[in-house]
Amino acid sequence: MTSSSPDIITFGRSGVDIYPLEIGKGLEEINSFGKFLGGSPTNVAVAAARLGHSPAVITGVGDDPFGRYVVREMERLGVSGRYVVTDPHLNTPITLCEIFPPDDFPLYFYRQPSAPDLQVRPEHLDLEAIAAVPLFWFSGTGLSEEPSRSAHLAALEARGRTTHTVFDLDYRPMFWSSKDEAREQYREALKFTTVAVGNKEECEVAVGETEPERAADALLEAGVQIAIVKQGPKGVLGKTAEEHVVVAPNMIQVINGLGAGDSFGGSLCHGLLAGQDLETILTRCNAAGAIVTSRLECSTAMPTSEEIDLLIAGGDPNQGRTIDEMLEAVRNRGVVVTEDQDGQGER
């Protein structure tokens, strides 16, 4: 990463993902874990860096070893940490998951009483950089709590609905008192949004519609230029005032569905900045997301452009590696946390 200005700034969660290195077991039965950079907007930045961009993340970490790891790993993966705020009071959050392929991946967030990324304040922001950056990405979670909510609105007001301002609708119920509270904040943020992306449930929170066509129309009526509705096994719908595109999903063996949306997001950032047409963007986003579902981790699983090309052409971006082989590769990276016989953590 050079000292030059970023072409993408994302704003929101960061932390440490603690993912099991055993498949099909509950956390109470698992003895070995891998440690990875996490947090959706941070992973989006990593995915974009993998595709050749120079992103930076606005986020917060604790003044602790995990906070130092987050910044170091972020930089190692090509993302600038220049806008990371260190909180002297709160711990860097961790997230654990269970992996039950093909479609059950429970998440457990450890962010109490709050997380440093939700304590980023308006005065922490470089509003000139936010206004000028070619693409600004933010997620719904950052609107859930003060002072992060005010910081997000300050950032959005500084941009003034500049292309490209991307709203990841990303609704996590545990961060909100109710859907009504979230809907109020989402509607305010949509006033500054040029691209909105979310699944059907997230669209219901944002605009009160779950049916994909109506949801996309409602987002366009709210003023966005591009509405993207993820439809799961039915693929993804993209709509503008002039275009209507539906792209089918990719068929691939799923190991861990977590992180697919972040990979989708990184590819979306790339496609928007590259000026690709909507069908090309969504085709490549779907492929990027599918590739991450076929791997264990999230941030370090983000695909290259060549891997996306390969999957679209019908090839195997994992080169025939089995689940066991991929697990072994992760163990060999030296990021494994295991539990000794006395239950004390070792690395």
In this predicted structure, what is the pLDDT of residue 322?
84
In this predicted structure, what is the pLDDT of residue 3?
52
Q: Does residue 3 belong to any structural domain of this protein?
A: no
Torsion sign over Cα 247, 255, 198, 150:
negative
Q: Does residue 23 belong to any structural domain of this protein?
A: yes
The widest CA-to-CA distance across the chain, in whole angstroms, is 63
The contacts of residue 86 (CB under 8 Å, 6+ apart) are 60, 61, 62, 63, 67, 116
**Can you give the residue range of the structural domain that contains 319?**
8-334
Q: Does residue 340 belong to any structural domain of this protein?
A: no
In this predicted structure, what is the pLDDT of residue 111?
95
Q: Does residue 339 belong to any structural domain of this protein?
A: no
Q: Does residue 342 belong to any structural domain of this protein?
A: no
In this predicted structure, what is the pLDDT of residue 343?
36
Q: Is 80 helix (H, G, I), strand (E, B) or coil?
A: strand
- Give me the CATH number covering residue 137: 3.40.1190.20
pLDDT in tens, 45-61: 999 999 999 999 999 99
Number of independent structural domains in the chain: 1
The contacts of residue 90 (CB under 8 Å, 6+ apart) are 60, 62, 113, 114, 115, 116, 119
Q: Name the token pair of 22.
A: 């055993």
The Cα–Cα gap between 238 and 245 comes to 5
CB-neighbour burial class of residue 117 (10 A; exposed 0-12, middle 13-18, buried 19+): buried
Q: Does residue 324 belong to any structural domain of this protein?
A: yes
Q: Does residue 346 belong to any structural domain of this protein?
A: no
Q: Does residue 345 belong to any structural domain of this protein?
A: no
Residues of the chain with pLDDT under 50: 1-2, 334-347
Q: Does residue 256 contact residue 34 with C-beta atoms inside 8 Å?
A: no
In this predicted structure, what is the pLDDT of residue 334?
47
